[in-house]
Structure 1
Amino acid sequence: MAPEAWCRAVITSQDINIAILDTGIDPNHPDLAAKITKTANFTTSPTTDDLFGHGTHVAGIAGAITNNLVFGAGTSFNSGNLWNIKVLGDDGTGPFSGIAAGIVDAADAGANVINMSLGGAGGSQALEDAVNLAFNNGVVIVASAGNDNTDTPSFPAAYANVISVAATDENDQKASFSNFGDGVDVAAPGVGIFSTCPTHANVLGCINFGSLNGTSQAAPFVSGLAALIKATFPLLNNQTIRQAIESSTDDVPGSGTLYQFGRINANSAIITAGTL
């Protein structure tokens, strides 16, 4: 219900900064380039460009440019800048230390939302410390729950100060691959998600635009919604924005069992945020 939310929300650029911690973002993509306002690299790759293909897809879901006659609209509907914080290498992997460094960099630079469509087992003290620092700086932190169809925690999603996002399919059922369990907070669409892809060759083989599946695709729907709420109600802090998102979800199969809350509803979240 994003279009209904956009009708209620501030839809002009508000300098809300969405940090995409991922494999990079194609800086030349016509539906993303004008919104990329910060770039940083915490990998051994010589470039912040997305040679893997994952980060560009994630970025489009959260913040593709709106009303430019290209593709469609990101969930944040022009209310957010995109920060390309490369923390995963050109093979799509990276250590927790690089992710932690990216979190600290984004938080110190003034990010409003951090999206991490990534994760792994165990976590680390440095990663948890970085998450807590960002949270204490007022950042809304979002991460994918993982794609192993298990209730084993994935980090950073499982940390208390992170909104952990599972994936649902077109029937509002849990996606077959999605993680679930007590540590998962909300769900969002994650099957057959059409978004931006690099304009050049990449590991995933998605060029210009295409569809991918994953909790990686679900998380940026939540990040874009958080940015939309912040742009519309700039006095709300990160805890209240999280409350608005989680308390306004739709009750779908698995709500309260597979995930603590339900599937996000952008329109309901904007309405709820206006009452907080």
Structure 2
Amino acid sequence: MKNKKKILIFCILLILSGLIYFYILLKTNNFEMDENKINNWPYNIINFHTIKLKKKIDPIKVAVIDTGIDKSQSCIHEINIKEYKISNNEDIDTRHGTLTMGALCKSKILWSLDKDYNPILKDIQFYSIDIGSDKKSTITDLKKGIQLAIQLNVQIINISMGTYKEDKELKNIVESAQKKGVIMVAAAGNNMTKQSVYPASYPGVISVGALNKEGGFTYTSNFGDYITLSAPGEEISTGVLDNDNQELKHSGTSGASTIVTSAAILIKMLNYDLSGNEIKNIFEKTSKNKGIRRHDKHYGWGILDIEATILYAEKNQSAVKEID
């Protein structure tokens, strides 16, 4: 009986010490985190709490390489965005790019507050780089899009398009972006194949798989050794309205990539010196694994865990560069 009491007391003290440690973290970091996490989709499975930053934020430049966008949509119209068109074809399809930009605009992660109680979304300069639709875009346009993003000195690139044909010049362009510290987030694709897709499969690129509302991988999501992590990719809110005034949702690995891009933006604002490779390593270290701690061809290193990610980035700034 005495041993049971000792064990019970030890467990209570352990729990209390954990709570105290968590409380100290919340009060001493460069941010304040609400103790209650958001429980509605898609934030319920990525462990996201409302966050307020306590430090001055360095503005972030984010390129979205996709189709063009419809700036008449209210949410997109209100953010800082500049448009560039790479493709010379007459393609006027803007649906996919609009949904991607809308998902970023509506992301609660980017509605975290800065020290003046403004959403950090206001501190982001977006660049919409139109390389045409899936059916009409080319590898040449994709390469030109990435090159333009580099010229614009962006810190983060979101890419929802890719090719199954490896291209040496494309790889060199991706590597040149990484040498500049650019964070590259790429959708893994939605063709139910293990075939490598580029640039998502290149080393250093954060390749994103998609999850359904049950927390499993979506049946259309591509898979393979190149997947970095997984994030919600089913019915992601965009704020984009159709002709009947109904909201259109974003799904698949493109929708999931907007969640991971939002998380990367938040991490970059907390620690501006982190490079793309360093942030990828943080995602790999902190993702919630589906069982045994090993890489999975569907989930990558696991499911995005924003609380663990930002706490790790904040408390291990000197150690991040040592992760391999």
Regarding TM over 0.5, the answer is yes
- In 2 relative to 1, CA 8–200 (structure 1 residues): closer, same or farther, beyond 3 Å? closer
Q: Secondary structure at the match of 1:274?
A: helix
One-letter code of the match for 2:110? S
Is the Cα contact below 8 Å between 2:166 and 2:198 reproduced in 1? yes
Identity %: 25
Q: How far 1:188 moved relative to its partner?
A: 0.7
Q: Secondary structure at the match of 1:7?
A: strand
Is the Cα contact below 8 Å between 1:10 and 1:232 reproduced in 2? no
d(CA) in 1 for partners of 2:50, 2:76 = 19
> Which protein is bigger by CA-based radius of gyration?
2
Q: How far 1:238 moved relative to its partner?
A: 2.3
- 2:249 corresponds in structure 1 to 211
Matched, 1:161 2:207: no
Q: How far 1:73 moved relative to its partner?
A: 3.5
- 2:218 corresponds in structure 1 to 175
- 2:96 corresponds in structure 1 to 54
Q: For CA contacts below 8 A with separation 6 or more, give which structure has more relative contact order.
A: 1
Is the Cα contact below 8 Å between 2:93 and 2:132 reproduced in 1? no
Please show how residues 86-235 of structure 1 align to structure 2 within 5 Å.
86-89=130-133, 93-197=136-240, 209-235=247-273
How many residue pairs match? The answer is 260
One-letter code of the match for 1:56? T
Which of the pair is proportionally richer in helix? 2
Is the Cα contact below 8 Å between 1:9 and 1:229 reproduced in 2? no
Match for residue 109 of structure 2 among 49, 72, 75: 75
- 2:117 corresponds in structure 1 to none
Is the Cα contact below 8 Å between 2:163 and 2:199 reproduced in 1? yes
One-letter code of the match for 1:145? A
Is the Cα contact below 8 Å between 2:67 and 2:93 reproduced in 1? yes
Match for residue 250 of structure 1 among 281, 285, 288: 288
d(CA) in 2 for partners of 1:196, 1:125 = 38
d(CA) in 2 for partners of 1:130, 1:80 = 24
d(CA) in 2 for partners of 1:114, 1:246 = 19
- In 2 relative to 1, CA 40–189 (structure 1 residues): closer, same or farther, beyond 3 Å? same
d(CA) in 2 for partners of 1:126, 1:10 = 42
Q: How far 1:256 moved relative to its partner?
A: 1.8
d(CA) in 2 for partners of 1:84, 1:10 = 30
d(CA) in 2 for partners of 1:10, 1:56 = 32
Q: How far 1:113 moved relative to its partner?
A: 0.5
Match for residue 271 of structure 1 among 304, 311, 318: 311
Q: How far 1:123 moved relative to its partner?
A: 2.8
- In 2 relative to 1, CA 9–153 (structure 1 residues): closer, same or farther, beyond 3 Å? farther
d(CA) in 2 for partners of 1:214, 1:7 = 27
List runs of 5+ in structure 2 lacking aligned partners. Answer: 1-42, 112-120, 318-324
List runs of 5+ in structure 1 lacking aligned partners. Answer: 65-71
Q: How far 1:92 moved relative to its partner?
A: 5.2
d(CA) in 2 for partners of 1:84, 1:11 = 28
